[in-house]
Structure 1
């Protein structure tokens, strides 16, 4: 239930954030003071040269356990403790306001991120200790992981990590124990075949027909006017609190209908469902927004809204804290260098493709072992459900995952 609820919540939160961001551009709700404040709050984030967001469960371990008991989904103490401390953070920075950051288009039809944009993503545990972190500054990427700490977090023996990584190069071993490494992001993408061509090259990124883009914006403006309502709830700890409410199933259905034309324009997007998933409730859901000095400070969504068994005394709030004018993303000092081939082999091992970690799956005979290439018919079958694109399927296969491995992975995400 936790995994299902979290997935639905992330979709709801993302939709709310995206739609509220759209308010700043389309100006369709200026007649409503609360909605006007939300519009301005998102607009201020775009005017900044840096931005950060941190996703976490805003509850203690005891509260998480109580929620599990109330909903009939028992959550053990170790899991509850982990959920109460883990957070996922992202940060972006540029040398200009983020609203002015635009991708560039090459002569070969491919697109690339604005060269001035730097990004960071981090999974942290207790005390904000980094469990995994990835940064990109220009064409250079930096990564580190702390597998022993992650093992302790999930109740496993940290010494098992040593056994799994004993045959890796020393630099990669260090990277899995908290030491920074660097690599060429572009070379790694090409080596891994991220373009989905099967030959390591990047496939052209399609651009939307201007008429289709205009139609999408018009549809979203219409959805804003029909589905969302805003209420000013006054002050909370010195910050303005505004509640955004929407009929969950209707909003999801309307969004799916609005984005359906994109599947015709972008083949690799996958097939979108015609209606919302069954676990999206057919009732109103509310998201609380906190504004600090007119800028968005936090978004909170109570997971208890998704389960009728959860009473008023068992909330489980999911919180996204936002920040503007955050410190610029910087390259870490003293990072060792690894090749894209080393990282490709490491990813293949962790994704189930065997290699130096000594897995019993495909490719277990050594780091150079590979899964059988997929046939076009197999690719078509694996992408039919819409949970994976052709690019993802071919990437997993290139990293060592067999047809059955990818099929099992797709069924877990469906």
Structure 2
């Protein structure tokens, strides 16, 4: 009875969430730099390609905040129904990068100094850009910029096409019907393979734990959705049972927190999946919050598409090809054509 009751409560909480038109959540890792370094080392990286300490420190404290807005309830929405999106990556030292899609425009701002340190590859500074790249200077200075989303998609598609080629047909997207079928397959797999338990909490919330052997769970789930493969967009190839046979079959537990029958947090302990004794702490946390409508930031500088694709690329090329010393004056004689 407890299994049925807990599973039903959880299913109802997800169903309630799917009826919303705007959802907001925060995704983060509950880990430390030492565990991330140990996890990286177990993948046998090539010499010199090990995870830098700066990247491990950044990822251990990084959080991703996401908001999605649709014209329809989320569980009835296809890709074309979404009208707004916002995402922000932040660390304990501040925001790293943020972008929003509102109306016809995409808005971006970032802390390029922190990004460069995290990737162990410093990005060009504003002074490295040509005078005509004033908009990109705003990017490197951490200010909001924007560009027309459709124009960018059109330009990048044209750049990748052969001369004289006809525009590529619009790629099919994941429609609402297929999304529902995928969700139903997931529900059936969970009901069959997952053990549920429930417990109260002092603050009035309720905890439901779901435990299942990892390889069995994902193998069964992909087996359920394989008949839907023909409805998935190109490039979404499903792994075969053979591909999954080496996945660890350790039992994984997810802890769901419900308050007033609404899902507020999900915590998944992934440490055992690492199969590495040095990985002491590795959890995935999702925290739900009240849906907030994405808004366009004030004062964003509009970027010219050619400026984005040309100016920044030229600066990166100069940084790579000519090093810190830059170009010598004799490389460009005054009388050169």
Q: Per the shorter chain, which TM-score range? A: 0.7 to 0.9
CA shift in 2, pair 1:360/1:258, >3 Å: farther
Judging by fraction of residues, say which structure has more strand. Answer: 2
CA shift in 2, pair 1:266/1:292, >3 Å: closer
Q: TM-score, normalised by structure 1?
A: 0.63
| Equivalent runs, 1:282-293 vs 2, <5 Å | 282-293=249-260
Q: Secondary structure at the match of 2:222?
A: helix
Q: Is the 8 A contact 2:126 2:141 kept in 1?
A: no
The aligned residue for residue 3 of structure 1 is none
The aligned residue for residue 91 of structure 1 is 67
Q: Which protein is bigger by CA-based radius of gyration? A: 2
Query: Is 2:34 the partner of 1:65?
Result: yes
CA shift in 2, pair 1:236/1:303, >3 Å: farther
Deviation at 1:170, TM superposition (A): 1.5
Q: Which segment is superposed worse, 130-139 or 210-219? A: 210-219
The aligned residue for residue 47 of structure 1 is 19
Aligned alpha-carbon RMSD (Å): 3.9
Q: Which consecutive residues of structure 2, in runs of 5 or more, have no partner in the other structure? A: 43-49, 322-337
The aligned residue for residue 335 of structure 1 is 300
Matched residue count: 310
Q: Is the 8 A contact 1:30 1:36 kept in 2?
A: no
Between the aligned partners of 1:209 and 1:75, the Cα distance in structure 2 is 38
Q: 2:112 aligns with which of 129, 133, 147?
A: 147
Query: Is 2:315 the partner of 1:356?
Result: yes
Deviation at 1:340, TM superposition (A): 2.6
Q: 1 or 2 for the larger relative contact order (CA 8 Å, sep ≥6)? A: 2
Q: Is the 8 A contact 1:304 1:315 kept in 2?
A: yes
Query: Is 2:199 the partner of 1:233?
Result: yes
Deviation at 1:136, TM superposition (A): 0.8
The aligned residue for residue 411 of structure 1 is none
Q: Is the 8 A contact 2:37 2:56 kept in 1?
A: no
CA shift in 2, pair 1:316/1:30, >3 Å: closer
| Equivalent runs, 1:1-400 vs 2, <5 Å | 32-59=4-31, 61=32, 64-65=33-34, 68=37, 78-94=54-70, 97-99=73-75, 102-103=77-78, 113-114=80-81, 117-127=83-93, 129-153=94-118, 161-162=124-125, 165-167=128-130, 169-193=133-157, 201=167, 203-206=169-172, 219-235=185-201, 238-266=204-232, 268-275=234-241, 276-277=243-244, 280-310=247-277, 314-324=280-290, 326-345=291-310, 349=313, 355-358=314-317
Q: TM-score, normalised by structure 2?
A: 0.75
Q: Secondary structure at the match of 2:296?
A: coil
Q: Secondary structure at the match of 2:281?
A: coil
Deviation at 1:287, TM superposition (A): 1.2
Between the aligned partners of 1:93 and 1:267, the Cα distance in structure 2 is 22
Q: Is the 8 A contact 1:188 1:344 kept in 2?
A: no
